[in-house]
A and B are shown apart, each in its own frame.
Chain A
Amino acid sequence: MNTNTPIIDVKNLRIRLGDKWIHDHLNLSINKGEIIGIVGASGSGKTMLMREILMLQRPDSGSIHVFGKELMHGTPEKLLEVQERWGVLFQENALFSSLTVLENIMFPLREKTNLDKEMIQELAVQRMLAVGLEIDAANKYPSELSGGMEKRAALARAIVLDPEILFLDEPTAGLDPDSAAELDELVLRLQSMMGLTIVIITHDLDTLWRVTDRVAFLDKGKVLYVDKIDKLVHHSDPVIQQFFNGPRGRAAENTQSE
């Protein structure tokens, strides 16, 4: 693929909930191999944007291209093809509650590859260790895990098929600062190892500073600005100033510049 064509290209996206336009002519393109953060106040439609790109929610109008393929009017086969090439870490983890951690990670491999049992297990164990889970967690059920472990297990499941795009919805929400920092490092390591394109939806300013290449700021149903975080925080737009220059925003910035 030509490196100049964006891997995800969203154009003129519109969607309405009730009588409010959640997205009103939203445009966003994401390049191959970058880590892009999507931020915005609560209710600005960040998760909705992810759900639309993932085809979980049908927009009212506009177009979405992923891997250069138009999704909204594609055939089911085409959609399936695309769906095998991305992985998602949902905010609520969405682990299968009736399967153990290892079974959860093995599930996509069983469904989508023709590997034999032994290989599937080896690969799943490797992914489990790669995201920093202990081997003892293999036979535990999601309800027996702590929040951080659940996140890691869900992340392992998201990357097990070697996706080209990884969506992370609030990956550090509900984690203690140490675990959150570890998760940031994990994301960076995965990116450098697997050459992933990563889309992160987050409120976590530390994550934005540490991990992202670019950040898209959502407000009023549009992407207001897309820029590097150090430039974005100094943007003069009052909405952006309010978002980043609260006491916590400044603290995060200071830690990074030290």
Chain B
Amino acid sequence: MTKEKFITFHPETGELQCHGEWNIANLAKIKKAFEAITWSKKEKITINGHAITKMDSAGAFFLTKWMTNLSGKNLKVHFADFSEENKNLLKFSEQQKSHEDIPEVKELSWLQKLGKDFLQQLDEAYQFINFIGQLFFESLRVLHKPKLWRWNTINSIIDKAGASALPIITLLSFMIGVVITYQMGNELRKYGANIFIVNLIGFSILREFGPLLTAIMIAGRTGSAFTAQLGLMKVNREIDAINIMGITSAELLILPRLLGLFIVLPLLTIWADIFGVLGGMLMAQNILSITAHEFILRFQHEIPLRALLIGLGKAPVFALIIASIGCFQGIGVRGSSESVGAHTTKSVVLAIFFIIVVDGTFSILLSHFKL
């Protein structure tokens, strides 16, 4: 576009000529032109709108605003030669109370923020304990009313969190088996202790990697889904709708999720154990020349059932952690899409954090009891 001039000022007559399109697209340029004007000492300024081809309410708003500012500087301003339509616009802008101060948002100092955060965390911990307590009493209430056991929901949780997770769990645990054998195998070979790979794989996969990786995977996959689902239901007030019908959200939504995951996570863990060991076995054959037959014979002999049971025993605990944190965060969503995002992130991070903390605690306790 060629450089348009929207305003010409004739200092000798005190006339301000407006031209062109005074609409929102040109306002930035118009403002610049306006600020470039040096006002003469003339007391009277006539604004001529004859040459304005188009004007919108934003244009009119700023014109009146600037004019009011000029009036404040002891200049007399009046409009001339505006079309009927534009006059209406200007009149309308004048009538509007246009400027009021926006109330300020108080900024907190860092100390205040720290204190606020601390109290919030404390409050959240309190809420969580409350939530768990409520769930406990709810489950007692539901326990002797089989009608309230939501088998349909539980089934669908088992399907979505369990059956559909099988492929990814397969791949993941298989790869872990391969990787561990690969790294350990190289070291073992130096000492000619190839066959001990069976012990390493057996203990590490069954006791630690199987349950831990499955739980972390499910925390990312299902825990986040729980939070997003419940969070959106909360935003849409679906949860309120459930609550006023004399159905508790715990009984309808949370307990089935808890129970579903409780059932399915140990099963997924066994699945992960199988494929982790298979991955190790395959690698052992490749780089350590241990045949599958040898591997299995030694596996039976060396790995006690205890290893499997300890690993499986952790899975339900992890399931409870994932489901309760996922649901708790979902219920805690407030009002906005941003809140759904924040709570989903929190749900996954907290779940993984507590899974690892609990896993560490287990290791310490078990070694204390020489298991």
Please, which residues of chain B bring their CB within 8 A of the CB of A114?
Answer: 28
- Produce 1/0 per residue, A86-124, CB < 8 A to B: 000000000011100010000000000111100101110
**Most chain-A CB neighbours within 10 Å: which of B23, B85, B338?**
B338
Interface assignment of B61: CB less than 8 Å from any CB of chain A: yes
Task: Give CA–CA (A138, B103) in the complex, Å.
Answer: 8
Within 8 Å by CB of B336, from A98, A102, A136, A162, lies A98
Whether A130 is near chain B, meaning CB under 8 Å from some CB there, is yes
Asked, given contacts A102-B102, A129-B96, A129-B98, whether A97 binds B338 with beta carbons under 8 Å apart, the answer is: yes
* Shortest Cβ distance from B56 into A: residue: A162
Which of chain A's residues have a CB closer than 8 A to the CB of B305? none
B105 to chain A: closest residue by CB: A139
Q: Mark B97-130, 1 if CB is under 8 A from A, else 0.
A: 1111111010000000000000000000000000
Bin the interface of chain B by size: 20 to 34
CA of A142 to CA of B336, assembled, Å: 8
Q: A190: shortest Cβ distance to chain B, in Å?
A: 9
Give the residue of A98, A102, A194 whose beta carbon is less than 8 angstroms from that of B56. A194
The verdict on B88 contacting chain A, using a C-beta distance below 8 Å, is: yes
Q: Given A162-B58, A193-B92, A126–B102 Cβ distance below 8 Å?
A: no
A60 to B57, CA, bound (A): 38
- Of A129, A142, A192, the residue contacting B100 (CB under 8 A) is A129
- Name A193's contact: one of B25, B89, B105 (CB within 8 Å): B89
Q: Which residues of B contact A239 (CB under 8 A)?
A: none
Are A115 and B28 also in contact (CB < 8 A) when A135-B100, A135-B102 are? yes
What is the distance, in angstroms, from B26's C-beta to the closest C-beta of chain A? 10
| Neighbouring A residues of B335 by C-beta, 8 Å | 97, 141-144
Tell me if B150 is interfacial: C-beta within 8 Å of chain A.
Answer: no
Contact A113 B97 (CB under 8 A): no
A53 within 8 A of partner (CB): no
Residues of B contacting A113 in the complex (Cβ-Cβ under 8 angstroms): 24-25, 27-28
**Please, which residue of chain A has its CB at the minimum distance from the CB of B335?**
A143
B283 to chain A minimum Cβ distance, whole angstroms, is 48
Contact with B along A198-227 (1 / 0, CB 8 A): 000000000000000000000000000000
Contact call B27/A139, Cβ cutoff below 8 A = no
Partner of B102 from A116, A119, A125, A142 at Cβ < 8 Å: A125
* A162: contacting residue among B23, B28, B339, CB under 8 A: B23
Considering the chains assembled together, what is the distance between the CA atoms of A170 and B157 in angstroms? 39
Give the residues in chain B near A135, CB-CB below 8 Å.
Answer: 100-103
Tell me if B62 counts as interface (CB < 8 A to partner A): yes
Tell me whether A161 is interfacial, beta carbon within 8 Å. Answer: yes
Give bound CA distance, A226 to B257, whole Å. Answer: 54
Beta-carbon nearest neighbor of A135 in chain B: B100
A62 contacts B by Cβ under 8 Å: no
Determine the chain A residues whose CB is within 8 A of the CB of B334 once the complex forms: 143
Show 5 residue pairs from A and B whose CB-CB distance is below 8 angstroms, ordered by the A residue: A98-B339, A102-B102, A115-B31, A138-B103, A143-B336
Binding site for B on A (CB under 8 A): 96-98, 102, 113-116, 119, 121-123, 125-126, 129-130, 135-136, 138-139, 141-144, 161-162, 192-195
Besides A97-B337, A122-B62, 19 more A-B contacts (Cβ < 8 Å) are A97-B338, A98-B336, A98-B338, A115-B28, A116-B28, A119-B28, A122-B65, A125-B98, A125-B100, A135-B101, A138-B102, A141-B335, A143-B336, A144-B335, A162-B24, A162-B56, A193-B57, A193-B89, A193-B92
